[in-house]
Structure 1
Amino acid sequence: MAEPVKLIGCFGSPFVHRAEVALQLKGVPYELIEEDVNNKSDLLLKHNPVHQKVPVLLHGDRPAICESLVIVEYIDEAFDGPLLLPSDPHDRAVARFWAAFMYKECKDSMWIALWTDGEVQARAVRETKKNLTLLEGQLQEGKRFFGGEAIGFLDIAVGGMSHWMGVFEEIAGVRLLTEEEHPTLCRWAKEYAADETVQRCLPDRDRVVAALTPRKELYVSIAKAMAAQK
């Protein structure tokens, strides 16, 4: 009998989405335990005492796996099904590099571009669009996804752009990803969001907007603090 798989998550998180898509693509049955991030449970604090964040993957009696991309890699290696990371070592390294690039290089500038104003925002917008152009260059001509014809690790890593980026742009009143400037990336985002497996893991957009809009002031304060450290 297969060991039970449980995923501690919460509504509307792009990071939880990564873990869910990986499990769905692998065909792994799992139980989703929804967490109230404003009132963290003993279960979450027990299994992720370091960061106290979701997602957290529980697989049988093993120690918990934390951090979304670490979880995706674990799922890829621990379960049968289509490979999420490429089989070729070089291609695996490239996928990991671009996933890290989006997190380390793009995340801060994108956040500052959304939630600040003036010259600080203008610089961040320019940096964000430059980074999006670099990422777009990884989409091979004629291929549907970064992973080829099937969704792979890098698609999952940057999948938040297909759903959440538009939500944040709507709340902030800022456009960063446009078909005029990044047509291939926009085409990819539509393809990703339209995938049948991905759709099973996408939260209702209107609910996400309603849930995140009240946090706008918090996002602004975080972005200002990030900009001050640059």
Structure 2
Amino acid sequence: MTLTNNGSSPLVISSVALSNDFGTVVGTNTCSTSAPIAVGQACTMQVSFAPRLSGARLGTLSVASNAPNSPLVTHLAGTGVDFTWAATAATTATLSSGQSAAFPFLLTPSTLMAQPVAFACTGAPANAKCTVTPSTADLSAITTVTATILTGTTTAHVPGRTPFWLALLLLPAAFLRRRRQIAIAYFALILVTGCGLGRKIPGDGSNPGSGTGGTPTSSGTYPITVSATSAGLTKSVILTLTVQ
């Protein structure tokens, strides 16, 4: 807010008052009652809004001075945002690496309004991730939200290996001297390679992590925070995940 002295004499302020949920940001008010404002000069202040209730909130800024039209009154308005953010089932889960756990939540607005809400999930351990569905909503309705924690999610790199059967097949060709024998060996190699196209060579049967080539999540107990934020207001629920 800016107050300018458009009169013909210094403006002496006797009081500055804000009502209801409105106030001044500390350190921003230059409209002093001890220093008159010279003609053509101005003072400023930043007005804060801290609603105690949700919904439409009204207030005033009143400045009393030696001006003929004192007090100067400015009407203020804001909308208070509030909501309930709660888990609707157990907030703890115990599982093995490679498994997942889903936690349901309910977002309940105190006052219905088209105010966006963003969800977040933090604290997942290494080789695990947490996703929130949906990722955003608004306060126009009650919304069901699900946080899903997946373990064993980081893809492991497995170096390529030359199939053992292919190495054995190439050895006899190195010792054949006659062209006819070399041609037969080369033709056999083509046939065998063609039979193997599009087929996986069986591994050793191991499958770390989640069953999709993932790296296991270390055993332990982890606190995971799932939060909802709207208009600067954040509410959180802490989950407890135990990986065996």
Whether TM-score is above 0.5 comes out as no
Higher strand share: 2
Band the TM-score falls in, shorter-chain normalisation:
under 0.3
Q: Which has the larger radius of gyration?
A: 2
TM-score (norm 1): 0.24
Query: Could you tell me the TM-score, scaled by structure 2's length?
Result: 0.23
